[in-house]
Structure 1
Amino acid sequence: LQLELLLLSFCHVLVVTEVQTKNEMCGRPPITDGIDESTLKRVYEVGEEVTLTCELGYLPSTATPRRIACSATGQWTNSDLTCSPKMCQIPRPLQALAMGRTEVPFKSVLNYTCDDGYVLQGANESRCLHDGTWSHPPPLCKAVSCALPKPPRDGKIVHDKTITGSTTMYGQGWTYECNPPKAPSYERGYCMADGNATEPPVCRDVSCSIPAGIPNGFITFAIMREHGYKEKVKYGCNEHYVLDGNAEIECQNTGNWSAKPICRAPCSVGIKRGRIFYNAKKLWIADLKPNRVLHGEIVVFYCLNRAEKCGYPVASTCNDGTLPIPECFEEPGKVEYTLRPKTLPSEIRMCAASPERPTSPTRTA
């Protein structure tokens, strides 16, 4: 019995000793971003101290080094050290692209590219270094240049800008012209993004068919025949119709005419009773003689604000024979129009402001 007790006591001592040994160690200290961990060990004994410092490229939150110690509980004492990355100023020409930011933290990378037609001269990326400077300065984007274009056979080139030297820059253009009566297969050329100039066109004979008339209009002083490249024909409109588009059309290098104009129709004001504002005058509809407004002209109708008991104007525009009537306009009855005209929206007090609404609904007359 005595032997057994001794053995149990010995085992107890072993257990206690094992626990004590286990508690007399600390693992690697907990660290935050930017703290230098290159000199830290994996295991420390109770009482050992460690001085925490910031990595290269980070700024410490305290001026003096911070030491922490491994305590008897196997825990490290607290440290208030934080490490903030150093900042690099974004180059001023690029700040407009940085959405309000003027600086970026250590290790940030700027990647540079150039628009089409420009060649990058310098490094295509730059890194924010530990000392707050950039590894490379911003590069330059130099416009691609092209050798001067060749003129077409039987023709010439007219440059948009005066050319000096033997090259032209990306994006610059020119017009090809052929000796009359020939026309170029295409008229425009450019210095392209790949550094090549447009190949010269072919000069060829081109003619356009006899020009066609237009509805409600006519051709002025033209001989009805085929026309050559660059020849022109002029149109006019019948009385009270408004010409929409270029009055002249031109025979193009494709053998087709440029777009013909359109003669837009006048409108009639589709109410029998009421007052309107037209051509800088306030008119009763019966006094609009003839009842006609031209395409593009504006007619103002008067609507009633029932809540405020006042009138307000709503404008409508004649569009090729159609003049929409505002939805808010109410045509007065015959008796009201004849006997009580002073009560109409056009005659009573005008509202201080028109009622708020997203749009002015209209109905077609």
Structure 2
Amino acid sequence: MFCRCLGFVFLLSFPGQLLGQIPAEPCSAPQLDGGFLVPEQRSYLHESSLAYACNAGKKPAVEGWWATSVCLNGLWSHIPQCIDENTCFTPNVPHGKYGESPDGLWYKDGSVIRIKCDEGYKHKGWGVTATCKKGAWSPLPVCERSETSCNEPPNIPHAVVLHKYQHIFAADSEVRYECDDGYSMEGANARKSIFCVSGTWKDVPSCTISKHSPGNGDTTGVIAKPVDSERGRGGANTGGFPSRAPGNPRETGLESTSDKDSTISPLITDVDNCGPYPKVPNGDVVRKKTMSLRYACNGFYKRIGPETVVCYNNGSWSQLPTCKEAYCQIDLDEYRHYSLQESGTIILKERESKKVQCIWTFYSSLITCTKGKARVTPCCHYLDHYWQRCY
């Protein structure tokens, strides 16, 4: 009894050691050339902060004449640094891009950048460049919306746009609409492209119910593909149908286009006539109509085969889709030499990406999943223009 109590006291006294918790590391005092720290110590505890300022002719590496930094588990939120006071910081140009500095995060006195406006935007006035002069930028170019650009495409009932969403589209942009199952555009097409012309989307289509679509109540002349299943085989003189099974064309009122043709394909009928809905591993029915079922795969799987399944009046189902794995599983412990802050296993969907913080401030690694294979990049600056260079 005494030993049990002693063990309980030991558990309460040292829970961190038993659970494998590692105490946060302190930070060493940063080396600051051309400035001074407050308070000035040999080391700083986790989550403690310091302030610093720079001598004449220099300034902190962040905005302001003084700056603060925080110790986070052995690393500073930003490394205190004093730079030349005539250096310019990275400018913010809404809806515009420019080249990166060859010197890192700052631009030397006299540096010139050229602004390129995003698609759908144009330069306001004639200025397209800016110059760093004694720590400040000359008036930065402004990117304003072009009068020839278009807003997002119109919302059409029963349709989606096959393009990633964005607010502004440049002139001559093309987007394609696709109608929902059972709907079509002019000419019985399910897809149509429209174009941005002088600020307006031209020839916007509409999706209307197809004349002979399943679920429209009109099954006349709707011929399905022939099937070969034990359930659908009848006698020699039945034309492929069971002689008295539910779903016989004479019982349902769905007359074939030629009763005299014994080789005619079975017709589509109400999905409830085929009994329980087919099961698709890692997938499920996401929408039920009178004449069709729509399947979708789980989040980490990709559909292969038809999206829509119908019931034939011989009691069989049309071809089912399959759900194929579409994800990557990455063990970050295998990339310790990349100096990542995270560890363990992560799972990404197909074409998904994730940034993982590195042990250095302003550095991250990009992990992507493409065709079931993961790609882990070395650590790099996570500012946009640096990511473009590194990846």
TM-score, length-scaled by structure 2: 0.26
TM-score, length-scaled by structure 1: 0.28
Larger radius of gyration: 1
